[in-house]
A and B are shown apart, each in its own frame.
Chain A
């Protein structure tokens, strides 16, 4: 079964540092997403990406966040200057026009 692959599985970074979380969506999917889940809280939408541009973003997705699809396979989330409150599980997801979402196994980001 096709998978969404995320790397790394766990990232520890110092406050103020930049991090890049990487994802390889399912190859024939057209829509790509980032969600996050703070420990003990619900899954929250960050951003959706279609046709090489952001199609929707949440209030969480401020100027510190950016997304990129640098080539035909990777989809990245960059946090420019991490804060303690950015510590969370970050999930990448993709889907086709009619299909359900497939989530990656997540990157656990710990900001210290």
Chain B
């Protein structure tokens, strides 16, 4: 089983749509969870951290289910500028090493 698994997509959605991404992780000792955004040939940029209680930042909502080892990201009212690859990222163990999923590509269209 991959350490962090994501559906690679692409997800092609019209502007204004709601889209959800899912991610599973294999290591139950994982401590911190994040969604990063990566534009083509650019560096990953932190979108939001993910907490067990769920957290929201504007149009973005992230959820964590530790029992199922499952992380989700919901984007509401998607915009053309949301087109990017969304990376599910997990911090495992005592160090600060991040383990990345392969990413889910989102294309928002007119």
Partner-B contacts on A (CB < 8 A): 31, 33, 35, 41-45, 48, 55-56, 89, 91, 95, 100-106, 108
Contact = CB atoms under 8 A, between A and B. Distances in A.
Given A48-B96, A48-B97, A56-B97, A41 B102 contact: yes
A42 B95 contact: no
B21 interface: no
Interface in B20-65: 34, 38, 41-46, 49
Contact of B101 (A31, A42, A89, A108): A42
B49 A48 contact: no
Contact of A89 (B41, B46, B97, B99): B41
A100 B34 contact: yes
A95 B103 CA distance: 22
14 contacts: A31-B96, A41-B102, A42-B100, A42-B102, A42-B103, A48-B95, A48-B96, A55-B95, A95-B96, A100-B46, A103-B43, A103-B45, A105-B43, A106-B42
Nearest to B44: A103
A61 B18 CA distance: 40
B73 interface: no
Interface of B: 34, 38, 41-46, 49, 87, 95-103
Nearest to A58: B97
Nearest to B42: A105
A35 B89 CA distance: 13
A104 B43 CA distance: 7
A48 B96 CA distance: 8
